[in-house]
Structure 1
Amino acid sequence: MAFDYIITARKLASGQFTAEPGPLKFIKVPRNAVIYDETHVIARTAWVEEVVALADGDDNPLSISPLGDLLFYVHGYNNTIEAVLARQRTLSANMRAELWRGLVVSFDWPSNNQLLGYFEDRDDGAEVAHLLVETCLDIVVTQQRRKCVTNIHMIGHSAGAYVITKAFEFAHNKGKYFKSDWRLGQVAFISGDVSRNSFFGTDQWVEVMNKRVMRFTNYFNPFDAALAVSNAKRLGVSPRAGRRGLPDNLGDKIVDVNCGDYFQTLKPDPKEWMGSWSHSWYFQSRVFARDLSMTLEGAIDRDFIPTRELRDDKLHLRDAPRPKYIEEWGVNDAAKRTTDSGRTV
């Protein structure tokens, strides 16, 4: 039987998980289950061992990771447990179909399924961000101290991007993480509900990201209606990175990918989408999954990933296949030969 893995910061009450913050629990849920509950809780040690083993158990010949790839997915506001599981599974299936062989796991933070709870959810997101540090980053630090070469990544959707930014700020201020020698592979935002102004280099999370992350990719859609609402609630003074994109000249580690032209070619299917189509279409798109897969694998320079077109020094998402002979390049073999003390060179 196949399983999905989640770290949840939801409060457990009467055997069910709620939309309020609570102590962390580690979840292993059968893939055919619609929700998870108390019966799916397992010990942290067992959870980490199983997740790392699964991530490392299927070598990807296209990845620069000597062993495996692990992607932490952090969802946005107003997500039910059902939606979190559905999106995790859809993203994982699409990436698998696009030849990525890593493991997608979720960090499920409590978020009310009502629009009026939006600002309350952002407060909850800030509250649980330190839990993201205490779990995900602690797993990273512990595994890398053990010379584990699993490549660990994060992706944040909507307000999940906000949770990740707050987590990086906590990491900057918390002694054992600030002083430890740890790194992440890739961090990506999709429909990021964070201010584009926060990328001007003054925020602590940007400083930590530049120090600890191999590359950051911001996927944005100028036609994102949900982020238009988010911007309006702030009286338009703080454009969202997931709708407007990033400022120019942010350095080599930060990549902006405009998905607007490609998005306009998509016909919404009400049976397939989850939530606002313009805000959540990424989960259903094989083209996006292909681009994200090649991004996480790290074998191709950011400007030359085939699913991107460079126009006027800006990258635009497009529908294009992988390089025809990429599986014969020996990418993973080269990565395994160029390791030093358990760390990729």
Structure 2
Amino acid sequence: MALFFSRRTYNAQKKKFTDNPAALTRYVSMTDQSDDGSVHTGGIIPQSEWLKQVQQAGGTKEILIYVHGFNTSQKGMLDRLAKIETGVKAHGFQGAVIAYDWPSDGTVLAYNSDRGDAKKTAPHLVDDGILPLLALTPRPKIHLIAHSMGGLVALRGFSDFGDSVGHWGIDQVMFCSADIDATWLEKGAWGGLVLDERSKRFTNYYSGRDRVLALAGGLINGGRERAGHVGMPSPVTKGHWDIYCNEQYKKHVPDAQQTMVYSHRWWFDNDGFYKDLTLTMAGKDAKTMPTRRPTNQADLALLT
């Protein structure tokens, strides 16, 4: 079963979602799919029924929300959602694993269009997803894993909601290959402040081997380094952790697979990454996790 909420437009005639932003959020339960992942059964259901299904999937205890990044089709989102669920449950996570499906065009040529849609639809991550989930009884513990431009969706979504809706926050927030300005996460900067207010702990997995983010920082964003490529600048907010992943990538990804695109997506095929995610969601001490090693810097290294 795949559970997600989507801000893509739905074409009722073709019975499929498009890559355009929608005027409302739809809640989806996919009950089955073909072996190659090309055909799914299930569909749009009322929010109330969707929330019940999230609870039945383990959401009475914990919920992990996956927020995809740039250049991700809905099928690509579903494929990675399935990998994340399999990966964390193999290491003991017993909660529900769901996704927020924002309208990426699913093409490498649509960076600016995706960025605009990410900002436009970011508030619905909180308003239509996190807040209804936090209102469940019993109240679950909620975590979030954002990949690439999904980090922008999370930050923008979090910053748009103050305490006028009631004081709210989630447990663990984790970014991998975050396509956001690294300076936003410095202590006292807006991104660092937002994450400090809205999460119990923030973990930033980064890799200097990420060639997509090297391009995004060096060319597309005018030299503004990406947090998923270089980590967080000092000083870092207390409770925010940088996890250096160069050695994990080199150890587990064969040379022939170290392409530009895969250097940005390898996380979803790495068992050690999922083990570290699961330990993080369990609230284990960042410094003593068996998946991590000290470095000669202030950060820690993922190495399994």
- TM-score, normalisation: structure 1: 0.81
The answer (yes or no) to whether the contact 2:218–2:225 under 8 Å persists in 1 is no
Q: Secondary structure at the match of 2:94?
A: coil
Which residue does 2:206 correspond to in 1?
Answer: 220
Q: Secondary structure at the match of 2:251?
A: coil
Which residue does 2:91 correspond to in 1?
Answer: 98
Higher relative contact order (CA 8 A, sep 6+): 1
What's the CA shift for 1:42? 0.6
1:50-65 alignment to 2 at 5 Å?
50-56=53-59
Post-superposition CA distance 1:280-317 (Å, at most 9, x none): 1110000000000000011x211111100012232000
Aligned equivalents of 1:250 and 1:195: distance in 2? Answer: 14
- 2:10 corresponds, among 9, 12, 16, to 12
The answer (yes or no) to whether the contact 1:215–1:253 under 8 Å persists in 2 is yes
Aligned equivalents of 1:73 and 1:238: distance in 2? Answer: 25
Post-superposition CA distance 1:178-224 (Å, at most 9, x none): xx122201000000000101012454443232122110000001000
- 1:195 corresponds, among 181, 194, 204, to 181
The answer (yes or no) to whether the contact 2:31–2:41 under 8 Å persists in 1 is no
Please tell me the residue identity of whatever aligns with 2:246: G
Which residue does 2:289 correspond to in 1?
Answer: 305
The structure-2 alpha-carbon separation of the partners of 1:68 and 1:39, relative to structure 1 and needing over 3 Å to count, comes to closer
Aligned equivalents of 2:189 and 2:52: distance in 1? Answer: 34
1:131-170 alignment to 2 at 5 Å?
131-143=124-136, 146=137, 148-170=138-160
Q: Secondary structure at the match of 1:115?
A: coil
Please tell me the residue identity of whatever aligns with 2:148: S
Aligned residue-pair number: 298
Aligned equivalents of 2:86 and 2:55: distance in 1? Answer: 19
Please tell me the residue identity of whatever aligns with 1:29: M
Identity percentage over the alignment?
27
The structure-2 alpha-carbon separation of the partners of 1:265 and 1:209, relative to structure 1 and needing over 3 Å to count, comes to same
Q: Secondary structure at the match of 1:137?
A: helix
1:1-345 alignment to 2 at 5 Å?
3-13=1-11, 14=13, 15-22=15-22, 23-33=24-34, 34=37, 40-56=43-59, 68-143=61-136, 146=137, 148-172=138-162, 176-177=164-165, 180-234=166-220, 236-268=222-254, 276-298=261-283, 300-312=284-296, 313-319=298-304
The answer (yes or no) to whether the contact 2:29–2:42 under 8 Å persists in 1 is no
Q: Secondary structure at the match of 2:158?
A: helix
Aligned equivalents of 1:262 and 1:31: distance in 2? Answer: 33
The structure-2 alpha-carbon separation of the partners of 1:116 and 1:88, relative to structure 1 and needing over 3 Å to count, comes to same
Q: Secondary structure at the match of 2:2?
A: strand
What's the CA shift for 1:91? 1.2
The answer (yes or no) to whether the contact 2:155–2:194 under 8 Å persists in 1 is no
Q: Secondary structure at the match of 1:28?
A: strand
- TM-score, normalisation: structure 2: 0.91
The answer (yes or no) to whether the contact 1:274–1:280 under 8 Å persists in 2 is no
Superposed CA RMSD in Å reads: 2.3
Rg larger in 1 or in 2? Answer: 1
Post-superposition CA distance 1:98-136 (Å, at most 9, x none): 222222101011111222211100000001001112112
Aligned equivalents of 1:212 and 1:310: distance in 2? Answer: 27
Q: Unaligned 5+ residue runs, structure 2?
A: none
Q: Secondary structure at the match of 2:218?
A: helix
